[in-house]
Amino acid sequence: MFANGLSYLAIPGPSVMPERVLRAMHRAAPNIYTGELHDVTRSLIPDLKSVAGTAHNVAIYIANGHGVWEAALSNVIGAGDTVLVLATGRFCVGWGEMAEGLGATVETLDFGDSDAVDLAQVEAALRADTEGRIKAVLTVLVDTSTGVLNDIKGVRAAMDAAGHDALLMCDCIASLGCDEYRMDDWGVDITVAASQKGLMTPPGIGFVWFNDKADAVRGTISQVSRYWDWRPRVNADEYWKFFDGTAPTHHIYGLREALDMIAEEGLEAIWARHAGLARAIWAAIDVWSSDGPMEINVADEAARSRAVTSLKLDEGQGDALRAWCEDKMGVTLGIGLGRTPASAYFRLGHMGHVNGHMVLGFLGTIDTGLKALDIPHGRGAMEAASNVLADLSRG
């Protein structure tokens, strides 16, 4: 009824694509053999490193997040190796399954679906590994299924306290360029991310950042699948080695524009924007949840992502609300992922190209949908959200 007009995608990836990125991609196919495309590709490298907070290496792959999960593992994990998965939702478990597919043994510390990694348990598990079997610790900055944000710097501190020298591998696919992340400062050895979330570019290219310690481990692996091998990609004296074939031409132009936008705003300002918008979202949710079935998945604010939020209603109501918002108002909310009953859950993506009026728009849509569907909820959520943004905007 009210859906015609600009539609809005509030799912946790792919995220909203800026007009600037779309326009940068709207062009004829470029020459891939020589010229501008090569220069633009090379220009991405320093900017990608700075987004991840590393001075080390980055390899670009034509792949989504699942692809770079496997790319990263393939360089350091072989059959018979053991990895420790720090599970705070579906996604780190999925990364572990990828390791299993490569013949690794997976040990899992499961922290449930609403809590961050418990650092004391990580330290204890590593201390107990007196034979040094655990070769890598797999963790996520943000688990997109639960909205849990993990303390990655703390994970490294726990590893150090246990005196364990496993590699620390971190999945930042959900939240690079949204939630604060500092690969080198926090002691992460390998980071993975993909183009379609905080990096505001269509799905299809992914990245693996790795330091010299990780590359030394790469040197001990006898067989690395040719396509995933990161070495030829980072020392690419021939352009082809970046991609092992045809370059992802339009993604390169799109990403160039997105990285320019990130540089113009500045990473710290971007983190602050996401944090402020998340506070407005949480304020609205506090009011809705004060009466009726709504619950935010992560109670502890310190363990909440600023890029994605997972919410629960009663069975069937999550699906009904999503359908209402899309059909009646042109706003698409994210499905509940990996939770039961799935029809109770929904998620909000607020990552990348998102500002105050976009957030107020989807919050207002949800507020209206709760009313229209007669789902009991506390009244005044929009007032609470606008108060937060008004206060923060005063600086």
Ligand X SMILES: *Cc1c(COP(=O)(O)O)cnc(C)c1O
Element (H, E) at 281: helix 267-289
Residue 334 contacts ligand X per CB under 6 A: no
Chain centre distance of CA 149: 10
Task: Confirm or reject binding of residue 207 to ligand X (CB under 6 A).
Answer: no
Closest to ligand X by CB, 258 vs 385, is: 258
CA dist 141 and 151 (Å) reads 7
Given the complex with ligand X, which of 236 and 278 has the nearer CB atom? 278
Sole binder of ligand X in the list 70, 81, 113, 171 (CB under 6 A): 171
Sign of CA dihedral 163, 164, 167, 168: negative
Residue nearest to ligand X (CB): 65
Contact pick of 203, 330, 361, 364 for ligand X (by CB under 6 A): 203
* Residue number, 13 or 369, with CB nearest to ligand X: 13
Q: Closest separation between CB of residue 69 and ligand X, Å?
A: 7
Q: Please state, in angstroms and rounded to a whole number, the distance separating the CA atoms of residues 136 and 169.
A: 7
Half-sphere exposure at residue 248, Cβ-oriented, CA atoms within 13 angstroms:
19
Which residue in 83, 98, 99, 174 binds ligand X (CB under 6 A)?
174
Under the criterion CB under 6 A, does residue 64 sit at the interface with ligand X?
yes
Determine the Cα–Cα distance for residues 311 and 328; give it in Å rounded to an integer: 21
State which residue, 92 or 388, has the beta carbon closest to ligand X: 92
Q: Helix 267-289 crosses helix 356-372 at what angle (to 10 degrees)?
A: 20
When binding is defined by CB under 6 A, the residue of 65, 198, 248, 276 that contacts ligand X is: 65
Q: What share of the chain is helix, strand, coil (3-state, %, to 5)?
A: 45, 15, 40
- Closest contact distance (angstroms) between CB of 14 and ligand X is 9
CB neighbours of residue 387 within 10 Å:
13
Q: Work out which of 91, 181, 207, 242 binds ligand X, going by CB under 6 A.
A: 91
Please give the radius of gyration of the chain, using alpha carbons only, rounded to the nearest integer: 21
What type of residue sits at position 155? Answer: V
Q: Within positions 109 to 148, which residues make up the interface with ligand X, using CB under 6 A?
A: 140, 143-144
Which residues bind to ligand X, rule: CB under 6 A?
13, 64-66, 91, 140, 143-144, 171, 173-174, 194, 203
